[in-house]
Structure 1
Amino acid sequence: MKLKAILASISFAVFSTTAAHAAPVTGAQVNYRILSSTTLLIVHQNGSYTVSVSRIIQPLNATGVQAQSQVNIAYPGNFATLKVLKAYTEDADGTRHAVVPSEIFRQSTPSAIKAPFLSDGVNESVIFPAVAPGDTLHIRYDLTYAHPYLPGIYAVSAVLNPTIAIQHAAIAMDTVKDNSMKIYKAKAGTGWQSDSNGFTATHNTVSVPPLGTPSPSQYAGLAVLSTVNSWDDLARAYDQLADPAMEITPAVRAAAEQAAGGQTGDQAIVPIFHWVQKNIHTVSVDYRTAGFTPMPATDTLARGIADSNAKVALTCAMLQVVGIHAVPAMVSNETRFKEYPGVDPFAFDHFLVYLPAQHRFLDVSNRHASATALPIADAGRPALITGKTPRMVITPVPDTNSPMLSEVEDLSLHGNGELAGTEQVTANGYAAQQERAAISGLRGRRLLKKIRDSFYSQGDIGELDKVEFRDRFDLEQPFAMRAHIVREGKFVPGKIFSLSLPEMHPVTASLLPFASNESRSTPSVVDPTSLHFQLSIHIPSGYHPLYLPNSESLKTPVGDYSVTYAFSNGTFTESESLVLPEFLIPSEQFPMLRKITAMALEANKQALVLEKSA
């Protein structure tokens, strides 16, 4: 059993996705193409604005028809309205089939259903009639917002998704001749061309990025139009919404004092952090449909449920009660490790607590996070610190100087063909959070079934029992699990026989996404980690290894790998380690990562050949 395996701005979706995790494809199949997509943001004199979208899409096969014959338009129902100006299907002979009003369905977004007091999100689905491959789908609509998401900031951005063919794309902004409002233009990557109104692009080459590729916003063409040119301005605009929500009311003060248990200052940080984590249930919301105004801290206490924005506002207020200055920080959970080239509120989708005096971040929304280690989805990301001294920083990267995940197996070979003994997994930092999350809420038979299912999914035949945990619920301590395992049928005794060594453990599992490519044109993303695996097998009396596999080691700029084999006093030992210190591996350095992967996978094919002593 391997416990690791238990773990089982306005940006427009036509351009942008948040992840690309498909297998590498040569000559990728194109299911549809965008013939034209234009987005114009118009700022009105009264501060409201309209986003006018015009799009023509051509499905090329049945899969494309299924994917594109319904267009979903989501927006905040409390300060935006939608008007569909035209929508029709045009077939090959030029006949147009209009979308009738009865084929436009309005419903609440998932976040509005889960927590209507946090989001008034509305989704309108436009169903195109009589769609066949080769037809074109035409739609034009206006979204009018009573005010911007953040006071005084208007922005539009778009990412060129490498998996989508686009003949013509454009984003533009019009401030209705308001000379006091300047439009700032910025771009990163390739594909976007600047013109007098904004940006245009053509993207006809479709490619499916391989496994382990970061979000397109990390490496693909990204264009931003904004009315501000400083992240500090965005932070101050957010403060206008967040400051009232962090008011210290009698209810907030009472909750803070109760959570702190009489402690103040630095000693109160951890108990308050865990109190909010435990007592305020987290729900995810889309800030494009919910807006950025956090729910007041008092209301969050009363409801016991909140998104990351509201939980951060409450935590900051409670920490202020015990003398700790804390401010919200905006971050993105995308696999993107650089800031947007221009200022867009939707460069962020998550909130953290930031403690300026300690230069420390807390994620109160993650149920299994500790107060000393960020979840992996928060680490190494650009974070906009708000408050009186706003600035953009990078959140800490996981410390790889000591093992983050360690697996130790101590087994004995028996004459009946069994390989039996103990396995212990110890996890620190974000790895401990992941291990705890994998078995969250499970007890008794359900917990044992989860662990046994993992054991059998690795191809093992035998039994697993006597499972013990250390510090399963103390989030500030390393997590450990110990189990007794029996693997049956691992060898048939004879004068000479071989025993296959374990083929899947944390080291090789973390490298599998990079096994299928010799080279890459895109960067690769890994979780910074330090993994250790040790296998000890006590050999039956009268046997010894015929030979030992070759020990190997490799040190590269992207990481280090080593595997050693030894035999002493009747015990065979395999030790394997992997250290990857950074999130991003540039494409030119990918061959080094590939070499580490190949060496680790080759080590997994080794066998222990035993010979009966004379």
Structure 2
Amino acid sequence: MTARVHRDVEIGYKLFNAEAADIRHKQYSRGRYTYHEWEVTDVDPYDYYSSESYNINHFSPHVVLYVKSTNIDDQPKKYFGDIDDLFDYYKGFISDLNTSYSPELKELVEKLTDGLTREEKARAIYYWVQRNIKYVAYEQGYMGFRPSPANEVFNKRFGDCKGMSSLINGMMELAGLDASIAWVGTRRIPYTYEQLPLPQVDNHMVAARYTGENDICILDGTFDYLDYGVYPFHIQGKEVMVAKENGGYDIFKVPISPAGYSTISDSVSIRMQGDLIMGDGKVTHTGFNKMELASAMDGVKKDNYNETLTRLLNKGNNKFSVKGHQIHNLFDYDKPAEVDYQFVLHDYSRKIGDELYINLNLDKSYQDFSIDTTGIIQPVENDFYCTETSITRFEISDGYEITYVPDDAEFKTGNISASFKYIKDDGVIILKRQLTFEFFVLVGDQISNWNHLISYLNQQYRSSIALKKTDNQTSNIVKK
């Protein structure tokens, strides 16, 4: 790689992922130009990972060039070099932002926040922007950095991340609340501000509100159904540059929500009715799982809810069908979503003579999620830490006794775990399965751990309980 630079321009460069590569840099001058050459030879092959949010810059050796300063016609000008320079560059795009507000916007804010506490005002403003402003990305040229004024976004009823942040910031100011413009890079970008204090470190903008000395509330209007005060999952673990009122800035590292914040708990009770399995279920979604469920149901006509829930809650086989449902809090903020549902499952149980076999693993999630490591490798990506619990309660039919129950099993390695526990109660057998994922991306040796998990799950998914027809309805025989 060669860069030719005019003698009036000073450049800098940053090397990344170069530890295993002997990258040689050579610099020389010819006439009015300075030449920079980077050369590497005998590079060992390495695994190539490709996905939407984990790009080549995470693992591939590369060099990033930038302009440090110029001296044209004896007029020196500094550009980039440290974090202060980057903030000065960003500040130029917001220095004249939201200097005035329309009467209509002022009236809306007054109506939204009348009689509310400061925290309630912030919450009301954030939810109004979520519900009423459509997200439309726009990144051409300088408009990829310059936010649209709050008045413009309010009047058009659409905006990109910068415009929505500008509107939230403006409405907060009208309500007498402190809010700031903030820049952040999603997890697609691997750099910190210290590593790369250049515009390439960021690709997103949010609003930020100080809620304590060291605590900042991130307000991202591009996320539908995201509860107030929750850090968007795609920037968790990343750094945010927050513009302060005094003209300075803070660097804030976004916390990671624990696996217990985003949960799915699906509990069903099933019974035999002839050759059919009839069931009643209740599934509860919290955190980001609730947000995803709301997004999946958004726009679905109520007459089509059973059909959509059949697809989303699929169990057993492709002859599963939801026949009724009751939904609570799905599109409400700050509450878990709950779905009570009734279903039927055809051709699932297996009878051989007087024996009956039932696989209580109705939910076989991830069974086809093993990763092929023979070519370009798809890393395992997880949007957010989460816990999934599935409980199946099988009511033993009269005239049957239990002859076999699978052993309990547990799998745990690093940041993923799974457990299967069978419980025999009065007239019922219960299977509780729990999966916990505490990672964002798995690469390298972690892929092998993931494939071991999938193999383990599939092994457990093949396990069934066995029952035998008998005239003794009080028998409690259990064999393992």
**Could you state the TM-score of these two structures normalised by the residue count of structure 1?**
0.65
CA contact (8 A) 1:213 1:522 kept: no
C-alpha deviation, 1:437, in angstroms: 0.5
* Matched pairs, number: 438
Residue identity opposite 1:239 in structure 2: K
- Residue of structure 2 equivalent to 1:234: 86
For the pair 1:284 / 2:130, whether they are aligned, the reply is: no
1:211–1:225: structure 2 CA closer, same or farther, 3 Å change rule? closer
Q: Residue 424 of structure 1 is aligned with which of 265, 275, 282?
A: 282
Q: Residue 531 of structure 1 is aligned with which of 351, 365, 388?
A: 388
CA distance in structure 2 between the aligned counterparts of 1:213 and 1:517, rounded to whole angstroms: 19
CA contact (8 A) 2:393 2:428 kept: yes
- Residue of structure 1 equivalent to 2:478: none
C-alpha deviation, 1:193, in angstroms: 4.9
Residue identity opposite 1:372 in structure 2: G
Residue identity opposite 2:222 in structure 1: S
CA contact (8 A) 1:328 1:351 kept: yes
C-alpha deviation, 1:612, in angstroms: 1.9
- Residue of structure 2 equivalent to 1:12: none
C-alpha deviation, 1:224, in angstroms: 1.5
- Residue of structure 1 equivalent to 2:477: none
C-alpha deviation, 1:250, in angstroms: 4.4
CA contact (8 A) 1:515 1:598 kept: no
CA contact (8 A) 2:371 2:378 kept: no
CA contact (8 A) 2:189 2:201 kept: no
- Residue of structure 2 equivalent to 1:571: 428
**More displaced stretch, 285-294 vs 234-243:** 285-294
Q: Helix, strand or coil for the counterpart of 1:245?
A: coil
C-alpha deviation, 1:474, in angstroms: 0.7
CA contact (8 A) 2:259 2:386 kept: yes
CA contact (8 A) 1:224 1:343 kept: no
User: Per-residue CA shift, 1:43-75, capped at 9, x if unaligned?
Assistant: xxxxxxxxxxxxxxxxxxxxxxxxxxxxxxxxx
For the pair 1:605 / 2:445, whether they are aligned, the reply is: no
C-alpha deviation, 1:467, in angstroms: 1.6
C-alpha deviation, 1:258, in angstroms: 2.4
Gaps of 5+ in 1: 1-169
CA contact (8 A) 2:262 2:289 kept: no
- Residue of structure 2 equivalent to 1:344: 198
CA contact (8 A) 1:264 1:323 kept: no
For the pair 1:172 / 2:35, whether they are aligned, the reply is: no
CA distance in structure 2 between the aligned counterparts of 1:212 and 1:303, rounded to whole angstroms: 30
- Residue of structure 2 equivalent to 1:390: 249
CA contact (8 A) 2:422 2:431 kept: yes
C-alpha deviation, 1:217, in angstroms: 2.2
CA contact (8 A) 1:369 1:433 kept: yes
CA contact (8 A) 2:57 2:190 kept: no
Q: How does 1:109-124 map to 2 (within 5 A)?
A: none
C-alpha deviation, 1:383, in angstroms: 2.5
CA distance in structure 2 between the aligned counterparts of 1:427 and 1:243, rounded to whole angstroms: 42
1:363–1:239: structure 2 CA closer, same or farther, 3 Å change rule? same
Q: Helix, strand or coil for the counterpart of 1:377?
A: helix
Q: How does 1:480-491 map to 2 (within 5 A)?
A: 480-491=338-349
For the pair 1:400 / 2:270, whether they are aligned, the reply is: no
Residue identity opposite 2:82 in structure 1: S
- Residue of structure 2 equivalent to 1:580: 437
Q: Helix, strand or coil for the counterpart of 1:595?
A: helix
C-alpha deviation, 1:280, in angstroms: 1.5
1:249–1:448: structure 2 CA closer, same or farther, 3 Å change rule? same
CA contact (8 A) 2:363 2:390 kept: no
**Could you state the TM-score of these two structures normalised by the residue count of structure 2?**
0.81
- Residue of structure 2 equivalent to 1:243: 95
CA distance in structure 2 between the aligned counterparts of 1:396 and 1:377, rounded to whole angstroms: 11
- Residue of structure 2 equivalent to 1:439: 297
CA distance in structure 2 between the aligned counterparts of 1:332 and 1:237, rounded to whole angstroms: 16
Q: Residue 410 of structure 1 is aligned with which of 262, 269, 272?
A: 269
CA distance in structure 2 between the aligned counterparts of 1:548 and 1:376, rounded to whole angstroms: 40
Residue identity opposite 1:406 in structure 2: S
C-alpha deviation, 1:275, in angstroms: 0.8
Q: Helix, strand or coil for the counterpart of 1:241?
A: coil
CA distance in structure 2 between the aligned counterparts of 1:269 and 1:569, rounded to whole angstroms: 52
CA distance in structure 2 between the aligned counterparts of 1:296 and 1:210, rounded to whole angstroms: 37
C-alpha deviation, 1:370, in angstroms: 1.6
CA distance in structure 2 between the aligned counterparts of 1:309 and 1:230, rounded to whole angstroms: 23
1:171–1:412: structure 2 CA closer, same or farther, 3 Å change rule? farther
1:473–1:603: structure 2 CA closer, same or farther, 3 Å change rule? same
User: Per-residue CA shift, 1:430-476, capped at 9, x if unaligned?
Assistant: 11111110111112223333223446797331531212211011122
1:300–1:427: structure 2 CA closer, same or farther, 3 Å change rule? same
CA distance in structure 1 between the aligned counterparts of 2:322 and 2:355, rounded to whole angstroms: 28
1:200–1:361: structure 2 CA closer, same or farther, 3 Å change rule? farther
- % identical equivalent positions: 16
CA contact (8 A) 1:225 1:342 kept: no
User: Per-residue CA shift, 1:223-253, capped at 9, x if unaligned?
Assistant: 2222322233222321221232233524343
CA distance in structure 2 between the aligned counterparts of 1:204 and 1:469, rounded to whole angstroms: 55
Q: Residue 226 of structure 2 is aligned with which of 369, 374, 394?
A: 369
C-alpha deviation, 1:586, in angstroms: 5.6
- Residue of structure 1 equivalent to 2:17: 189
For the pair 1:356 / 2:214, whether they are aligned, the reply is: no
- Residue of structure 2 equivalent to 1:156: none
CA distance in structure 2 between the aligned counterparts of 1:512 and 1:397, rounded to whole angstroms: 28
For the pair 1:223 / 2:63, whether they are aligned, the reply is: yes
C-alpha deviation, 1:589, in angstroms: 4.3
Larger RCO: Structure 1 or Structure 2 (Cα < 8 Å, ≥ 6 residues apart)?
1
Residue identity opposite 1:333 in structure 2: T
1:343–1:453: structure 2 CA closer, same or farther, 3 Å change rule? same
For the aligned residues, what is the CA RMSD?
3.1
CA distance in structure 2 between the aligned counterparts of 1:426 and 1:543, rounded to whole angstroms: 32
Q: Helix, strand or coil for the counterpart of 1:460?
A: coil
User: Per-residue CA shift, 1:151-195, capped at 9, x if unaligned?
Assistant: xxxxxxxxxxxxxxxxxxx36363x333xx642211211366544
1:198–1:236: structure 2 CA closer, same or farther, 3 Å change rule? farther
CA distance in structure 1 between the aligned counterparts of 2:109 and 2:25, rounded to whole angstroms: 52
CA contact (8 A) 1:530 1:580 kept: yes
- Residue of structure 2 equivalent to 1:41: none
- Residue of structure 1 equivalent to 2:405: 548
- Residue of structure 2 equivalent to 1:16: none
1:517–1:468: structure 2 CA closer, same or farther, 3 Å change rule? farther
1:410–1:300: structure 2 CA closer, same or farther, 3 Å change rule? same
